[in-house]
């Protein structure tokens, strides 16, 4: 549709009215933008939203408005002429010059369904009230399906899709993919969209993750539980570590710079193995724990953890040759 000057004036009047202001407020709340971000408004019209975004992201960010109408962009330029972080482009969305196209990234594995109360069979897609129920419909096979559908539409700008596996259990798929890409010197797009569920909010960063398996090993032979004072109970030692990790969680700063919930870095112990019988003192126990961290909180947590580990080893100083604590970083 071609916008002439008369239509542009009408559109500007609507945008300045109550409906236009309410719509922009709703959009700004949904975007949840932060200072320094780059945001594109496709079909920006007279630039009202471009202006609001520019003020919200500050001078270190960029608000980009795209519209096929020169009349609309002229109005947008007049509105935003005093803002140095605004760029206006006259074109349609499919003509945006994105170097090497866009990379869409998704995974096809899901977390287990054990002990989950599903209303519908999780392994069969079920549509109820225009909503799709099934394992991975949101995280994240639905996203992959949408991308494949649009790729088949033969859009004029290039697409690249990566589909990986085992992301829920250690990101094995993406690690193997990166090895293949580096080995074969494959050129990737500079823009990437990851289709993780975010309640339709724009997310430009996420927490880091580190998975560690801690193993307490006693080289002293297992013994009967009645001789508890002569042996090292590795389950008891592991429980001391776990309790200490939980205490660290209480002092991790709540920065919430990603505006997520919980806002601070988290520590989780998800797996514990040890012992052979209720009346035998275990000689080996391991537990697997993870950190989902912001900035360098993982370093803070590990420093605390290893200091506690040294205190444990000093406690059993006379037995250090027969007592070991190993930490394997799994991811």
**Can you give the residue ranges of every domain in the chain?**
5-95, 102-194, 208-329
Query: Rounded to whole angstroms, how far apart are CA atoms 63 and 21?
Result: 18
DSSP code at position 268: E
Residue with tokens 């520019």: 54
How much is the average pLDDT of 16-32?
69
Q: Give all strands of the β-sheet with 86-90 in edge-to-edge order.
A: 38-42, 62-67, 86-90
In this predicted structure, what is the pLDDT of residue 1? Answer: 46
Residue 122: CA atoms inside 13 Å, Cβ hemisphere, count?
A: 13
> Predicted confidence band at 10 (pLDDT cuts at 50, 70, 90)?
low
CATH superfamily of 5-95: Vaccinia Virus protein VP39 (3.40.50.150)
Domains 5-95 and 208-329 equal at CATH topology level: no
> Predicted confidence band at 40 (pLDDT cuts at 50, 70, 90)?
confident
Second-level CATH architecture of 208-329 = 2-Layer Sandwich (3.30)
In this predicted structure, what is the pLDDT of residue 309? Answer: 93
Residue with tokens 């992959």: 144
Outline where 152-296 has alpha helix (H): 172-184, 234-249
| Overall pTM surpassing 0.85 (yes/no) | no
Average pLDDT of every residue of the chain: 82
How much is the average pLDDT of 50-76?
88
Percentage of the chain exceeding pLDDT 90? 22
Is a pLDDT exceeding 90 seen at residue 21? no
Q: Which two tokens mark 107?
A: 């995974």
Model confidence pLDDT, tens digit, residues 225-242: 887 776 788 999 999 999
In this predicted structure, what is the pLDDT of residue 240? Answer: 93
Q: Give all strands of the β-sheet with 284-293 in edge-to-edge order.
A: 266-274, 284-293, 208-218, 323-329
Alpha-carbon distances, residue 184 vs 102, 104, 105, 179, 285 (angstroms):
20, 20, 19, 9, 42
Is a pLDDT exceeding 80 seen at residue 145? yes
Alpha-carbon distances, residue 228 vs 5, 201, 232, 239, 313 (angstroms):
89, 55, 8, 16, 18
Q: Which CATH class is domain 102-194?
A: alpha beta
């Amino acid at each position: 549709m071609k916008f002439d000057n008369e239509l542009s004036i009408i559109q500007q009047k609507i945008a300045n009215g109550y409906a236009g202001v309410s719509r922009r407020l709703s959009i700004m709340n949904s975007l949840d933008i932060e200072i320094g971000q780059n945001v594109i408004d496709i079909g920006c019209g007279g630039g009202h939203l471009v202006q609001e975004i520019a003020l919200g992201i500050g001078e270190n960010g960029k608000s980009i408005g795209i519209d096929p109408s020169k009349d609309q962009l002229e109005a947008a330029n007049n509105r935003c002429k005093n803002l140095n972080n605004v760029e206006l482009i006259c074109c349609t969305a499919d003509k945006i010059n994105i170097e090497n196209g866009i990379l869409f990234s998704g995974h096809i594995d899901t977390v287990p369904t054990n002990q989950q109360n599903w209303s519908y069979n999780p392994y069969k897609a079920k549509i109820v009230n225009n909503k799709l129920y099934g394992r991975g419909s949101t995280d994240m096979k639905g996203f992959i399906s949408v991308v494949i559908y649009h790729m088949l539409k033969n859009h004029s700008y290039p697409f690249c899709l990566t589909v990986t596996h085992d992301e829920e259990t250690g990101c094995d798929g993406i690690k193997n993919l990166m090895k293949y890409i580096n080995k074969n010197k494959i050129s990737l797009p500079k823009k990437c969209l990851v289709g993780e569920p975010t309640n339709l909010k724009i997310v430009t960063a996420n927490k880091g993750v580190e998975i560690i398996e801690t193993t307490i090993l006693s080289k002293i032979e297992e013994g009967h539980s009645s001789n508890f004072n002569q042996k090292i109970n590795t389950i008891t030692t592991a429980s001391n570590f776990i309790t200490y990790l939980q205490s660290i969680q209480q002092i991790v700063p709540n920065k919430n710079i990603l505006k997520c919930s919980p806002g601070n870095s988290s520590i989780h112990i998800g797996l514990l193995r040890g012992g052979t019988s209720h009346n035998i003192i275990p000689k080996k126990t391991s537990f697997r724990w993870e950190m989902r961290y912001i900035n360098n909180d993982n370093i803070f947590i590990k420093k605390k953890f290893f200091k506690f580990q040294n205190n444990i080893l000093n406690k059993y100083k006379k037995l250090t040759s027969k007592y070991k604590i190993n930490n394997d970083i799994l991811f």
